[in-house]
A and B are shown apart, each in its own frame.
Chain A
């Protein structure tokens, strides 16, 4: 199979590679670039463990070809914590016990980040609907929802303070 030249920017860093057209983005990230935060839970885009942020949208990297992402800006869980420490979402998931085994967590937080970009002040119902593409087998979602609501509140407070 002839290979394609693919260029990706992941968490601010540029990568170039030759890959088969059938290579899935999740494998590119995990196996070529050693970005193992996004996980594989189902291969049918139901579970959301592989969620990454691609050009400002949540996508499931298990059902996107690397070739489709050519030229894209991608953010994964590895791009959240900064020199000042954890991102507020990471911090709130910890504070409110929004994770147990941790396998869904990278996808959850990455999706929650985009949800809050799209809707900075969601109701609980909107959070539940907006997170319905990400499955968790451990928490029953109650504390995930709580974590996201708490993160939204803190992000809004910080924004108001800055304005």
Chain B
């Protein structure tokens, strides 16, 4: 690329395009309390819905009596499965090819399951009536452990007990959902059998929950005059919701308008379709009035969208000097009562087979068994691209365990096994083609930034001091080098309920040179209104401040698959850039006409086309836009609009190096994060300020998960962590300041080289925190201890290692 002139640099700066830390346009509204979230929507005559939920984890529903509830003033209806059955809506399909009860049909399978839906004039009346619905339950044996489920005679899913095959192939037990494999098993077994060193470990990634600050909710409004159904809701994929709503209800798709208003955080919680959405829609159709349903926090934590719950049994083999030769993993995946995982259809375990991570491993094999238990359904990608967090945690723990087995430094073990920069595009043993990477450069930069050698010396001294009785605090150095796989995905193998996972952008340039662009995605805090305008500013030469970005209204936005799995930038971002280029291509013809030269004789110049060799002869985009509307240009249609639907040729593979330095108090189990360094390589950087913000937030969610956050059940299937009293969300007090850093390795197949960053910090953060805890105790013999590492569990590690003696 030619060096820019001073004039060009000045003009480019005015655009606030890609690479600038443009301030967010969203904030003027949000800081004044002028956001418009679903619970802020108020319509004339609106009713309020609330659920009767099961107190039992497994029980037969013998009868439901709504008589007393109906007497509560303001109560309009109480819906049960019997009311939904004639509409065939008492069950609904899940994203994973299973089906799920909308309202309890004969039995309940998890605590908090939806049993009846009360519709009333306001939320107080609805809550009163919920208390008065009488449900007669007969308790059944409860299974909360997936290993027990596979041995138990107790049939959880009676509706499919005789089916020997499910959406993903054969079932080998009545509580078994699927077996899914990838890789070469024989070659992997052979590599492990003949290896000089083998490390084996069970790595458990516990059940947790995305818990966005805004819970899930909807307002459904059926207009009986026009026949049009409008549904506002916390939808990370509004267009798919419209298609599903049409298929389920029989209402033609053009008569359904789905709107995602402002969303108060999603993190995967708002991808799925929940019974509340269906019940509100049905209630609106039945009553002819708008119906609002908003979860409370307990509903949210108990019933919608858990994440993880993967038991990962691993074997990793290496030569005695540390070159990895094979990786084997068998996962027992607890899916709860219904398989409602949010994964592309053909991937029942998501992209778990990215579990060879950043390493050049010649032979690998994974097998995942999905299992039903009496827990809430879900298995969503909590700030994660479909089981990638599980995969990254698995491999980064296995590397640490192998380092112990080899008595080797874990940083060095990683370095000698990294995929080298000259190996990209790299074919992994589990079938992925990694697009680009330079792991050694990132790793060296990270180790140098934290003075890794100095830290190890300090740690050695600390261990000596501890043994000499001079301190009760140990020092842990948590290392992680993660490779993500995001941007789902190519339509040839990625779909959600049959809809290919492309995305889209439609741009209209107005006559005076400002613009509106609409996308198939929906921001939940990721600053799309700010950053997508930056892509367009650079591509079209229209200042970002003159571009409005709109998403989330299916009546106006082009069809897209939504925002999750870090796919907005890799997929919709690409569509945006390409739509911008279509605008520019037409603008070039207009400019050439206005300048009275051939199309090929003008060239792009930041915000204008100028005549080659005569830069003083030019037409700015503003002038071109006006001409598009006020001149008859031979051979060209009037107007300046473009639309692009982008089917990505491959996923993108962001990566990063995270290092956590943690002090651990052996006697209290308390921890203190002394330093956290996060280097991310997300390819081309669109807005560094927003990227840093994503990293801060993602690492904080990782801290929560690794250090205390879980959805825990007792043996009766009672949720023990159903409120924010018990479910750990860190406050400003527990959270450290993070140091962010970056390298830039653009994606070769993406129009602007961007890879996506939203999920990287959660994917990389969890193993960094967990490895720090493990590393603190490595010298005393700790190999593996399950998360979350709350104070009690850390105290227990120390106790089990005899450090309290």
Bound together: yes
Question: Are A102 and B296 interface neighbours, CB within 8 A?
Answer: no
> Could you pull out 21 A-B pairs where Cβ atoms are within 8 angstroms?
A27-B123, A31-B42, A36-B39, A37-B34, A39-B37, A40-B294, A44-B297, A44-B723, A44-B724, A44-B725, A47-B729, A77-B33, A91-B31, A99-B30, A100-B527, A102-B31, A103-B213, A106-B33, A132-B732, A137-B213, A142-B696
Bound-state Cα–Cα, A128 to B696, Å: 15
A97: interface (CB < 8 Å): yes
Task: Name the interface residues of A79-112: CB closer than 8 Å to any CB of B.
Answer: 80-81, 86, 90-91, 93-95, 97, 99-106, 109
B180 at the interface (CB under 8 A from A): no
Q: Assess the B33–A36 pair: CB atoms within 8 A.
A: yes
- With A36-B40, A81-B32, A137-B211 given, is the CB distance from A129 to B265 under 8 Å? no
Closest to B32 in A: A81
Identify A102's interface contact among B26, B690, B725, CB under 8 A.
B26
Give the residues from 216 to 258 in chain B that come closer than 8 angstroms, CB to CB, to chain A: none
Q: Tell whether, in the assembled complex, residue A141 and residue B732 are in contact, meaning their CB atoms are under 8 Å apart.
A: yes
With CB as the reference atom, state the residue of chain B lying closest to A96.
Answer: B689
Residues A37 and B33 in contact in the complex (CB < 8 Å), given A100-B527, A101-B265 = yes
Q: Which of A124-140 contact B (CB under 8 A)?
A: 127-129, 131-140
Q: B525 near A100 (CB under 8 angstroms)? A: yes
**B277 interfacial by beta-carbon distance below 8 Å:** no
Instruction: Identify the stretch in B193-201, B621-629, B733-741 within 8 Å (CB) of chain A at 4 or more residues.
Output: B733-741
Known: A42-B297, A142-B696. A102 touches B29 (CB 8 A): yes
User: Which partner residue on chain B sits nearest A37 by CB separation?
Assistant: B33
Give residues of chain B (3-31) contacting chain A, Cβ–Cβ below 8 Å.
23-24, 26-31
Q: Which of B28, B40, B697 has the most CB of A within 10 A?
A: B697
Nearest 9 interchain pairs by C-beta: A37-B33, A101-B525, A103-B264, A102-B30, A140-B696, A140-B700, A77-B33, A100-B525, A46-B724
CA distance A44 to B525 in the complex (A): 24
Judge whether A127 and B732 touch: CB under 8 Å: yes
Which B residues are in CB contact (< 8 Å) with A43? Answer: 296-297
Q: Are A142 and B297 in contact (CB under 8 A)?
A: no
List, in ascending order, chain B residues with CB within 8 A of A22's CB.
124
Contacting pair A135 B729 (CB below 8 A): yes
Cβ of A132: which chain B residues have Cβ within 8 Å of it? 731-733
| A58 interfacial contact with B, CB 8 Å | no
Residue in A42, A46, A102, A103 with the greatest tally of chain B CB atoms within 10 Å? A102
Q: Is B524 an interface residue (CB 8 A)?
A: yes
Measured in the bound complex, the distance between the Cα atoms of B724 and A104 in whole Å is 15
Do the beta carbons of A101 and B31 come within 8 Å of each other? no
Q: A86-B32, A128-B732, A137-B213 are in contact. Are A102 and B262 (CB under 8 A)?
A: yes
A34 lies within 8 A of chain B by Cβ: yes
CA distance A132 to B39 in the complex (A): 25
Question: Do B33 and A131 touch (CB < 8 A)?
Answer: no
In the complex the two chains form, what is the Cα distance from A155 to B294 in whole Å? Answer: 39
Shortest A145–chain B CB gap in Å is 6
A137–B34 Cα gap in the complex (Å)? 19
Residue A16 at the chain B interface, CB threshold 8 Å? no
State the CA gap A43–B731 with chains docked (Å).
17
Q: How far is the CB of B725 from chain A (nearest CB, A)?
A: 6
User: B residues 25-65 with Cβ under 8 Å of A?
Assistant: 26-35, 37, 39-40, 42
Measured in the bound complex, the distance between the Cα atoms of B123 and A127 in whole Å is 36
Cβ A138 vs Cβ B265 within 8 A: yes
| Contact assessment for B31 and A145 in the assembled complex, using a CB-CB cutoff below 8 Å | no
- State A132–B738 Cα separation when bound (angstroms): 18
Give the residue name and chain of the A residue nearest to B740 (CB).
Answer: A142
Contact A94 to B213, CB < 8 A, known contacts A46-B723, A100-B693, A141-B735: no
Chain A residues, Cβ within 8 Å of B122: 31
| B residues contacting the other copy or chain, number (CB 8 A) | 56
Tell me whether B697 and A80 are in contact (CB under 8 A): no
Question: Chain B contacts of A20 at CB under 8 A?
Answer: 124
Judged by a CB distance under 8 angstroms, whether B287 is at the interface is: no
Q: Tell me the chain B residues, 665-711 only, with Cβ under 8 Å from chain A.
A: 689-690, 692-693, 696-701
Report which of B213, B693, B699 forms a contact with A135, defined as CB distance below 8 A: B213
B731 touches A101 (CB 8 A): no
Contacts of A105 in B (CB 8 A): 30-31, 33, 35
**Nearest-Cβ distance from residue B269 to partner chain A, whole angstroms:** 10
Interface contact A97-B693, CB-CB below 8 Å:
yes
Nearest A residue to B264 by beta-carbon distance?
A103
Which range holds the interface residue count of chain A?
35 or more
Query: For the complex, is B653 an interface residue (Cβ under 8 Å from A)?
Result: no
Q: Does A23 contact B (CB under 8 A)?
A: yes
- Interfacial chain A residues near B30, Cβ < 8 Å: 99, 102, 105
Q: Do the beta carbons of A139 and B697 come within 8 Å of each other?
A: yes
Q: Is the CB of B732 within 8 A of A39?
A: no
Given A20-B124, A94-B31, A140-B697: A103 and B724 interface contact (C-beta under 8 Å): no
CB 8 Å contact bits of A46-57 with B (1 = contact, 0 = none): 110100000000
A83 → B minimal CB distance (Å): 13
| Nearest B residue to A76, CB-CB | B33
Q: Which residue from chain B places its CB closest to the CB of A86 in the assembled complex?
A: B31
Residues of A within 8 A of B697 (CB): 100, 137-140
Does B784 touch A at the CB level, under 8 Å? Answer: no
Residues of B within 8 A of A78 (CB): 32-33
Instruction: Kindly list 13 other residue pairs between chains A and B, CB separation below 8 angstroms, not including A101-B214, A102-B30.
Output: A31-B42, A35-B33, A41-B297, A86-B28, A102-B264, A103-B37, A103-B214, A105-B30, A132-B732, A133-B731, A138-B525, A140-B735, A141-B731
Contacts of B262 in A (CB 8 A): 101-102
Q: Which of B124, B263, B698, B738 contacts A101 (CB 8 A)?
A: B263
Q: How far is the CA of A163 from the CA of B699 in the complex (A)?
A: 43
Decide yes or no whether B212 CB sits under 8 A from chain A: yes
In the complex the two chains form, is A101's CB within 8 Å of B264's CB?
Answer: yes
Q: Does B267 contact A (CB under 8 A)?
A: yes
Given known pairs A37-B33, A78-B32, the reply for A139 and B696 (CB within 8 Å) is: yes
CA separation between A77 and B34, bound complex, in Å?
Answer: 9
* Least Cβ–Cβ distance between B634 and chain A, in angstroms: 48
A99 touches B214 (CB 8 A): no
Which of A37, A44, A49 is B213 in contact with, Cβ under 8 Å?
Answer: A49
Q: Does B145 sit at the interface, judged by CB under 8 A? A: no
> Which residues does chain B contribute within 8 Å of A30, judged by CB atoms?
39-40
Are the C-beta atoms of B690 and A97 separated by less than 8 Å? yes
Decide if B417 is an interface residue (CB 8 Å cutoff): no
When distances are taken between beta carbons in the complex, the residues of chain B under 8 Å from A46 are: 723-725, 729
User: Separation in Å of the A64 CB from the closest CB of chain B?
Assistant: 16
Contacting pair B35 A103 (CB below 8 A): yes
Residue B526 interfacial (CB < 8 Å): yes
Report if A144 contacts B (CB, 8 A): yes
Contacts of B698 on A, CB cut-off 8 Å? 140
Partner of B524, one of A49, A91, A101: A101
* Complex contact A131–B31 (CB within 8 A): no
Once A37-B34, A94-B23 are accepted as A-B contacts, the answer to whether A137 and B39 lie under 8 Å apart by CB is no
